[in-house]
Amino acid sequence: MRYLPLTPAERAEMLEVVGAASVDDLFVDVPPQALLPGPVPGLPRHASEMAVERHMGALAAQNLSAGEAPFFLGAGAYRHHIPASVDHLIQRGEFLTAYTPYQPEIAQGTLQVLFEFQTQVARLFGTDVANASMYDGSTACWEAIAMAGRVTKRNRAVLSGGLHPHYSATATTMARFTGDRLDVRLPELDADPDDAALIAALDDETSCLVVQYPDVLGRIPDLPAIAEAAHARSALLVVVVTEPVALGLIEAPGKLGADIVVGEGQGLSVGLQFGGPYLGLFGCREKYVRQMPGRLCGQTVDADGRRGFVLTLTTREQHIRREKATSNICTNSGLCALAFSIHMTLLGGEGLARLARINHSLACRTAEALARVPGVRVINRSWFNEFTIELPRDAREVVRELSEYGVLGGVSLGRLYPGSSELSNGLLVTATEMTTEADIHALCAVLQELLVDSHEGSPT
Amino acid sequence: MTTYYTQDHEWISVDGATGTVGITDYAQGQLGDITFVELPEEGATLSKGDAPCVVDSVKAASDVYSPVSGTVAEVNEALADAPELVNTDAEEGGWLFRLTLSDPAELASLMDRAAYDAFVQGL
């Protein structure tokens, strides 16, 4: 059997049929600015597998990766301990089915996992229902905004300054094509999020308020007050959770008045993975279930009365309802959802609460130690495992210098909000159960060293 | 009271300035078991051809188009708990919403029963 079916003669025959002189002729419509002018300089024509491995290994060795250094980065992607049993279990043959069920009812095992996943997400979020997952937190956030528009028949959404800027950016991209109006805000380096300003932005055209909990600076917004204000204007409250472990310690948003709760499940399911694939979580009140995007798995009985699982409400999905579908997402992050479910099952409710307490306590230890470093000011009044500090100079530079000392010190706000000079001295610091006393000591010692000059030089 | 029909299989039964709208028995038969009806809001202003209402069945989620222009005066609340009324009694108890007509002249463009029956025969 030949694996390369096209002979030069066959190619010539096909080109003749379509009326092209050469294969390159098929690409004449590509605009010149998108074309490479010629061979990439310095790129060898070929190399052996061993040589490529050696080369790539040397490049990779230049990275300072999360597992090799004291690591305090968060901002929507969290380094947690995912037990080896999770990786082992997700690879079992029983789970090696289609990533999303196209002919669903023959894959009862997949459907059962999704059903249990939905139950876990709904309990974690405190919502009546949850779907079978979405791509990631940011796309789930946009889907919630679009859904609020369908429910309220309004198209202006107010995005809190505490919403992760990458989530706002995703929504802004989507809104370019749907005509939704987004009121996007910046955070301020204050002890508490500015809930009053958010509430003041509500009007009778507003479909929803979008609030991150804890917010991007790690602070805890007052959800009941925000929910009450939103509902008084017949707007919905969308709550975004980028760190699901937090819900082991703080009250579920659905219990505090949120109508739609979305989030990023990465922290409990998969590693950092250079930013993806991640896991979008989505839950809402039952009365809005028909406007909920994505796949939904339900439990039923078969003709003999035995328990079985089905995909339900699929008539609202795009493969049936085309442009009037609830969403263009008809899929789910099956493997990441499976990892999430297995890890949640291993943890149990008490395990999650204990994990959350460890995270919070190590974050408190980190904050206390940092507060003693001259020149460092802890911004937050409240936090879970992530908080913001203000440095006496540009945090981007400090992060770069810390990395030269082998410490990954956090995410600078200058990186999240380029061009926003009021925020440029802000640094987001995260501690998880992976953080050790030695890590905290290393961070504070190097930071103190780096800040000596700038602190002594300042009038305060 | 006169009843008119559309090519999209809605009926409207007109009494003075009020029209009651539903889907035809033929339409419910094509859709199969109805599981949910999304009704318009009372007071909503509709133009002829707007789709204020969605009927979900086990096979599809289908828009219902307003046969004429008007304001929604009442919706059939009974469908919230018993959407199957649209299957069992499509052209009476399974009505969807009532309209106060804003342009009764639009009725002239609709079909009568005989014309609708002939239209369905031809499908």
Contacts of B61 in chain A (CB under 8 A): 315-316, 320-321, 324
d(CA A414, CA A420): 7
Look at residue A310 and tell me if it is in a domain.
yes
Say whether both A339 and A353 belong to one domain. Answer: no
Same domain, A266 and A353: no
* A358: containing domain: 69-79+349-452
Are A254 and A396 in the same domain?
no
Q: Can you read off the two tokens belonging to residue A162?
A: 């505490």
Q: Which of A290, A320, A324 sits opposite B36 (nearest CB)?
A: A290
What residues of B are in contact with residue A315 (Cβ under 8 Å)? 56-61
End-to-end Cα distance, chain B? 28
Same domain flag for A410 and A319: no
Q: Do A316 and B56 touch (CB under 8 A)?
A: yes
Distance from CA of A293 to the nearest CA of B (A): 14
Tell me, yes or no, whether A103 lies in a domain.
yes
- The CATH code of the domain that includes A406 is 3.90.1150.10
Do the chains contact at A315 and B63, CB–CB below 8 Å? no
Contact flag A316-B60 (C-beta cutoff 8 Å):
no
Interface size between A and B, measured as CB pairs under 8 A = 17
Please indicate, yes or no, whether residues A375 and A301 belong to a single structural domain of this protein. Answer: no
Are A93 and A131 found together in one domain? yes
Q: Are residues A414 and A339 in the same domain?
A: no
Whether A387 and A440 map to the same domain: the answer is: yes
pTM to 2 decimal places: 0.86
The CATH number of the domain holding residue B39 is 2.40.50.100
Q: Is B61 on the interface with A (CB under 8 A)?
A: yes
ipTM score above 0.95: no
Residues of A in contact with B58 (CB under 8 A): 315
Residue A10 forms part of a structural domain:
no
Q: Which pairing describes strands B97-101 and B70-75: parallel, antiparallel, or unpaired? A: antiparallel
Preceding peptide of A214 cis, ω within 30°: yes
Find the closest chain A residue to B56 by CA distance: A315
Q: Which residues contact A96 (CB under 8 A, 6 or more apart)?
A: none
- Residue B27's domain comprises 2-117
Specify whether A333 is located in the same domain as A388: no
CA dihedral A33, A39, A44, A49 (to 10 degrees): 60
**Looking at the structure, do residues A261 and A235 belong to the same domain, yes or no?**
yes
Q: Which residues in chain B have Cβ-Cβ distances shorter than 8 Å to A324?
A: 61, 63
**Chain A: closest CA distance from residue B43 (Å):** 14
Residue pLDDT tens, chain A, 460 long: 566 778 889 999 999 999 999 998 999 899 988 888 888 888 888 899 999 999 999 999 999 989 899 999 999 999 999 999 999 999 988 787 656 666 778 888 888 999 999 999 999 999 999 999 999 999 999 999 999 999 999 999 999 999 999 999 999 999 999 889 999 999 999 999 999 999 999 999 999 999 999 999 999 999 999 999 999 999 999 999 999 999 999 999 999 999 999 999 999 999 999 888 999 999 999 999 989 998 889 999 999 999 999 888 877 777 777 777 878 776 678 889 999 999 999 999 999 999 999 999 999 999 999 999 999 999 999 999 999 999 999 999 999 999 999 999 999 999 999 989 999 999 999 999 999 999 999 999 999 999 987 655 444 4
Residue A2 lies in a domain: no
The answer to whether the CB atoms of A321 and B60 lie below 8 A apart is yes
Residue B122 lies in a domain: no
Q: Which of A325, A343, A361 is the last residue of a domain?
A: A343
For A296-353, write each residue's pLDDT tens digit.
899 999 999 999 998 888 777 777 777 778 787 766 788 899 999 999 999 999 999 9
Whether residue A277 is contained in a domain is answered as: yes
Does residue B123 belong to any structural domain of this protein? no
Domain count within chain A: 2
* Nearest C-alpha neighbor of A208 from the set A256, A126, A141, A149: A149
- A92-150 tens-digit pLDDT: 887 876 566 667 788 888 889 999 999 999 999 999 999 999 999 999 999 999 999 99
Last residue of a domain, one of A343, A363, A390: A343
Contact: B57, A315; criterion CB under 8 Å = yes
Same domain, A117 and A142: yes
- Minimum distance, in Å, between the CA of residue B62 and any CA atom of chain A: 8
Q: Which residue has the tokens 């209402």?
A: B53
Check CB contact of B59 with chain A, cutoff 8 Å: yes
A355 is a domain residue: yes
In chain A, what residues touch B57 (CB-CB under 8 Å)?
315
Residues of A near B (CB-CB distance < 8 A)? 290, 315-316, 320-321, 324
CATH of the domain at A165: 3.40.640.10
Looking at every residue in chain B, the average pLDDT score rounds to 93
Instruction: Give the total number of structural domains in chain B.
Output: 1
- Classified as helix, coil or strand, B17 is coil
* Residue A258, both tokens: 């949120």
Residues of chain B with pLDDT under 70: none
pLDDT score, position A459: 46
- Write phi, then psi, for B69 (nearest 5 degrees): -85, 155
Q: What is the DSSP code (8-state) at residue B109? A: G
Cis? peptide before A101, omega within 30° of 0 = no
Q: Closest Cα partner for A110 from A127, A140, A132, A135?
A: A132
Contact A321 B61 (CB under 8 A): yes
Q: A355 with A313, same domain?
A: no
Per-residue HEC secondary structure of chain A comes to CCCCCCCHHHHHHHHHHHCCCCCHHHHCCCCHHHCCCCCCCCCCCCCCHHHHHHHHHHHHCCCCCHHHCCECCCCCCCCCCCCHHHHHHHCCHHHCCCCCCCCHHHCHHHHHHHHHHHHHHHHHHCCCEECCCECCHHHHHHHHHHHHHHHHCCCEEEECCCCCHHHHHHHHHHHHHHCCEEEECCCCCCCCCCHHHHHHCCCCCEEEEEEECCCCCCCCCCHHHHHHHHHHCCCEEEEEECCHHHHHCCCCHHHHCCCEEEEECHHHHCCCHHHCCCCEEEEECHHHHHHCCCCEEEEEECCCCCEEEEEECHHHCHHHHHHHCCCCCCCCCHHHHHHHHHHHHHHHHHHHHHHHHHHHHHHHHHHHHHHCCCCCEECCCCCCCEEEEECCCCHHHHHHHHHHCCCECCEEHHHHCCCCHHHCCEEEEECCCCCCHHHHHHHHHHHHHHHHHHHHHCCC
Residue of A300, A315, A318 to mutate for B, most B C-beta atoms under 10 A: A315
Q: Tell me: the pLDDT tens digits for A339-373? A: 999 999 999 999 999 999 999 999 999 999 999 99
Q: How far is A110 from chain B (nearest CA, A)?
A: 22
Chain A residue numbers with beta carbons less than 8 Å from the beta carbon of B59 are 315
> Of A316, A343, A370, which marks where a domain is finished?
A343
Min CA distance, B84 vs chain A (Å)?
A: 16
Q: What tokens appear for A186 in the block?
A: 């910046």
Residues in A touching B36 (Cβ below 8 Å): 290
